[in-house]
Amino acid sequence: MPVTIYHNPACGTSRNTLAMIRASGEEPEVIEYLKTPPSREQLIALINAMGVKVRDLLREKGTPYAELGLGDPKWTDDQLMGAMLAHPILINRPIVVTGKGARLCRPSELVLELLDHPVASFAKEDGEVVSWPT
């Protein structure tokens, strides 16, 4: 199964995740989800594949989360998904899908568990070195 990343090139975590995927020898399908947002059906499928709650996928930093009052528990899953579809920046990233599963890769090294041939060592943009047992 190919590797897919829901990516925001302005996000360091997303850039590091993409670099780790490529360093592992994979060339993923890169979906810049701010330009090409997922459909409601795709968003539901991603949430189900990751086994997370809708609220767990909401991003607060740098988004209209507070302005929209999304921290209020009154919002249903359907309403929260509607907010993410209307404002894709609310979808936390990066999301990676492989044959091994799907997950929100925060921190970026979580992607290594999803790859067939993860790199043993990787230096992130900030110089932090991530090691992975081979």
Please report, as a single letter, which amino acid is at residue 131: S
Write phi, then psi, for 111 (nearest 5 degrees).
-60, -30
C-beta of residue 7 within 8 angstroms of C-beta of residue 31 = yes
C-beta of residue 65 within 8 angstroms of C-beta of residue 59 = yes
Catalytic residue among 11, 54, 102, 115: 11
C-beta of residue 57 within 8 angstroms of C-beta of residue 42 = no
Rounded-to-integer distance, Cα 45 and Cα 43, Å = 5
- Catalytic, 11? Answer yes
Active site residues: 11
